[in-house]
A and B are shown apart, each in its own frame.
Chain A
Amino acid sequence: DTAVSQTPKYLVTQMGNDKSIKCEQNLGHDTMYWYKQDSKKFLKIMFSYNNKELIINETVPNRFSPKSPDKAHLNLHINSLELGDSAVYFCASSQGTGDYNEQFFGPGTRLTVL
């Protein structure tokens, strides 16, 4: 009965490849997020979706494309992977986007680009 799940947990790939990370939440939340955490451990918001609609799109390369088929899923597709994309990617969800928007995080996907 995992709340927020991500697959895969580890992803090792070559530069230039295209890869996807999947995220699902069974909490009934309306809002989902993608974060990137680099080697310095700084957690950076990439995207946020509310009821399948994009509400936050921080400055990330357009090689990153989120897709939300329904409000329980938010997948992340990355084209033409680069060395600098190596990081841990966390998916998260929250009930809404108001003041008390406690976020529940998935276990993370450690992406290594060789």
Chain B
Amino acid sequence: GQNIDQPTEMTATEGAIVQINCTYQTSGFNGLFWYQQHAGEAPTFLSYNVLDGLEEKGRFSSFLSRSKGYSYLLLKELQMKDSASYLCAVTDSNYQLIWGAGTKLIIKP
């Protein structure tokens, strides 16, 4: 079966750094997405990785290791507005997007 694992919830402090991990077992791999979803809102695109390595975009970076079936989202200089759920999703060999259950990130002052 296909499976994506993320921690259910994480807590971090404003101004700090947090890393949200995602491991996947899918039938094939054609890319990995990270989405952000604030409570009561729609998911919005954050990043895309298809090759191994780190993709940096401002305060957010995403890393991929295809051999390990592993990715992480790194959030620096945390702000209160970063409190949200972070969804990891993988495109499989049929080009279907398989979603993780999301990690709820709580930022404390």
Give the interface of A toward B (CB within 8 A).
40-45, 48, 56, 90, 97-108
Contacts and interface: CB of A to CB of B under 8 A. Distances in A.
Interface of B: 30-31, 33, 37, 41-45, 48, 50, 85, 87, 91, 95-97, 99, 101-102, 104
A73 B104 CA distance: 32
Contact of A99 (B30, B42, B101): B30
Contacts of B101: 40-42
A65 to B, nearest CB: 21
Nearest to B101: A42
Given A99-B31, A102-B33, A106-B42, 4 more contacts: A45-B99, A90-B42, A98-B95, A105-B43
Majority DSSP secondary structure for residues of A touching B: loop
Contacts of A102: 33, 45, 48
B44 A105 contact: yes
A84 B61 CA distance: 38
30 contacts: A40-B101, A41-B101, A41-B102, A41-B104, A42-B99, A42-B102, A43-B99, A45-B97, A45-B99, A48-B96, A56-B96, A90-B42, A97-B95, A98-B30, A98-B95, A99-B31, A99-B50, A99-B91, A99-B95, A101-B95, A101-B97, A102-B45, A102-B48, A103-B43, A103-B45, A104-B45, A105-B42, A105-B43, A105-B44, A108-B41
A100 B50 CA distance: 9
A107 B42 CA distance: 5
A100 B99 contact: no
Nearest to B85: A41
Nearest to B29: A99
Contacts of B50: 99-100
B96 A43 contact: no
Contacts of A56: 96
